[in-house]
Structure 1
Amino acid sequence: MSRALGLEGDVSRELLQLTCQPVACAVEIIDQDGGLLPEEMVVVRNAAWKRRVEFAAGRSAARRALGKMGEPSQPIPKGKLGEPIWPAGYGGSISHDGPFAAAIVHAIKTSAEALAIDLIDASDLTRYWEVSHLVRAAGESSEIAGDPRSAALLFGAKEAAIKLISPRAERYIGFERLVAARTNRGFQIRCTYSNLCILVRTFESNGIIVSLGILDRPCGA
Structure 2
Amino acid sequence: MEIRASCLRTELTPALMGKLADCWLPAPHALADGACAGIALAKLEQALSGMALAVLLPPKLRRVVRKRQLSFLGGRLCAARALEALGVADTVVRRAENGLPLWPAGVLGTITHHDAAAYAAVAPASAYAALGMDSERLARRDAAEAIRTMCCTQAERVRWLGWCAAPLAETLIFSAKEAGYKAIHRFVKRFVSFAEFEVTALDWAAGRLQLSPAAASSLQGVILPFEIRFHYTDDVMHTLVAERQMLFAAEASHLPA
Write the deviation string for residues 172-218 of structure 1: whole angstroms up to 9, x where unpaired.
11211112212323321123333323311110234421001134554
Residue aligning to 1:109: 126
Residue aligning to 1:193: 218
* Identical counterparts, % of pairs: 24
Are residues 164 and 53 of structure 1, via their aligned partners in 2, closer, same or farther at CA, if it must alter by over 3 Å?
A: same
Task: List alignment gaps of at least 5 residues for structure 2.
Answer: 1-20, 251-257
Note the 1:1-221 alignment, pairs <5 A: 5-6=25-26, 8=27, 10-12=28-30, 15-16=31-32, 22-31=33-42, 32=45, 40-79=57-96, 81-109=98-126, 113-122=129-138, 124-131=139-146, 132-146=148-162, 148-184=167-203, 185-191=207-213, 192-194=217-219, 195-196=222-223, 197-215=225-243, 217-218=246-247
Structure 1 position 116, deviation (Å): 1.2
RMSD: 2.9
* Aligned positions, number: 210
Q: After TM superposition, what 4+ stretches of structure 1 lie above 6 angstroms from structure 2?
A: 33-39
Structure 1 position 51, deviation (Å): 1.1
Structure 1 position 171, deviation (Å): 0.8
- Write the distance in 1 (CA, Å) between the matches of 2:249 and 2:153: 20
TM-score where L is the length of structure 1: 0.81
Letter in 2 for 1:153: L
Larger C-alpha radius of gyration, 1 or 2?
2
95-104 vs 178-187, which deviates more? 178-187
TM-score where L is the length of structure 2: 0.71
- Write the distance in 1 (CA, Å) between the matches of 2:104 and 2:144: 37
Letter in 1 for 2:172: L
The DSSP-based 3-state class of the residue aligned with 2:61 is coil
Are residues 166 and 39 of structure 1, via their aligned partners in 2, closer, same or farther at CA, if it must alter by over 3 Å?
A: farther
Are residues 100 and 164 of structure 1, via their aligned partners in 2, closer, same or farther at CA, if it must alter by over 3 Å?
A: same
Task: List alignment gaps of at least 5 residues for structure 1.
Answer: 17-21
